Amino acid sequence: MNGLKTMALMVTLTLMLVFVGGLLGGKTGMTFALIMAFGINFFTYWFSDKIVLKMYRAKPVNESEAPELYNMVRRLAQRAQLPMPKVYIMEQDQPNAFATGRNPEHGVVAVTTGIMRILSSEELEGVLAHELAHIKHRDILVSTVAAAIAGAISYLAQMAQWAMIFGGRSDDEEGGSPIASLVMMIVGPIAAMLVQMAISRSREYGADAGGARIAGNPLYLSSALKKLHMASQRIPMDANPATSHMFIVNPLTGGGLLKLFSTHPPMEERIARLESMRSG
């Protein structure tokens, strides 16, 4: 079922990109967007995990190098009925973690050195279970494709803007009208961002619930989230905004409008849902 949902979301995002390309550039724009969508999906499927791990200089560890962490991941993976994922450590002071990999057979769990310093064993178990739930649900692939296609729509909108400025397309040329192009230049990137946010937020809630079940106690994760949220506000991290949705807590600090457009759900709501699972 998760595989079908993943495929449906990827097809929907691809059609959204093609639709925007058609509005902005007619048949030519639609063809260009379709080629771009295939390229994005192919590249993301095969290489996104390697890129993000290299971006954060994550290093693989084995059982002899990090026995407690490795054995904890192995125990939780067995409980979740998942293949043993690769384990990586990032030299980062901010306590955080993410999962990547195109499917459960190629899953990766990466944690920062900061998270291993401040969390108890039970709290770290809750975080690792959350990341394994992402792998089990195939969330990473969909979220990464959503981010890439959102960026592609913004790129198409910028191309259309420059084309209108320099007279790249005449009114009688086959394709969408100039008014439709103008509207899409404004609405398209916002719509793509909202889709990306909706996918990321719903999948964070799902991974919280799934991780609580894998760990066996939702309070492990809720306690960890409280610590991680406070620490992320105090300890900066040089994170790429395009990958911020992958982390268990948003590595980028900020308030006001930035909070409204965060790919992560409100921390208070995540904690409340976990605690209600325990009381229930």
If DSSP states are collapsed to H, E and C, what string results for 67-107?
Answer: HHHHHHHHHHHHHCCCCCCEEEEECCCCCCEEEECCCHHHC
Identified catalytic residue from 91, 131, 173, 269: 131
Question: Could you tell me which residues come within 8 angstroms of residue 14 by beta carbon, excluding any fewer than 6 positions away?
Answer: 34, 37, 41, 149
- Phi, psi torsion values for 97, nearest 5 degrees: -160, 155
Containing structural domain, residue 106 = 2-279
Q: What is the pLDDT of residue 5?
A: 61
With a threshold of 0.95, does the pTM exceed it? no
Q: What is the pLDDT of residue 213?
A: 96
Chain segment 133-148, per-residue pLDDT in tens: 999 988 877 777 776 6
131 labelled catalytic: yes
Question: Could you tell me which residues come within 8 angstroms of residue 240 by beta carbon, excluding any fewer than 6 positions away?
Answer: 55
Q: What is the pLDDT of residue 240?
A: 78
Total count of domains within the chain: 1
How many CB atoms neighbour CB 53 within 10 A? 20
Positions of the chain with pLDDT under 50: 1, 169-175, 256-258, 260-261
**Residue given tokens 């969330």 in the structure block:** 139
Q: What is the pLDDT of residue 106?
A: 92
Q: What is the pLDDT of residue 172?
A: 44
Q: What is the pLDDT of residue 34?
A: 79
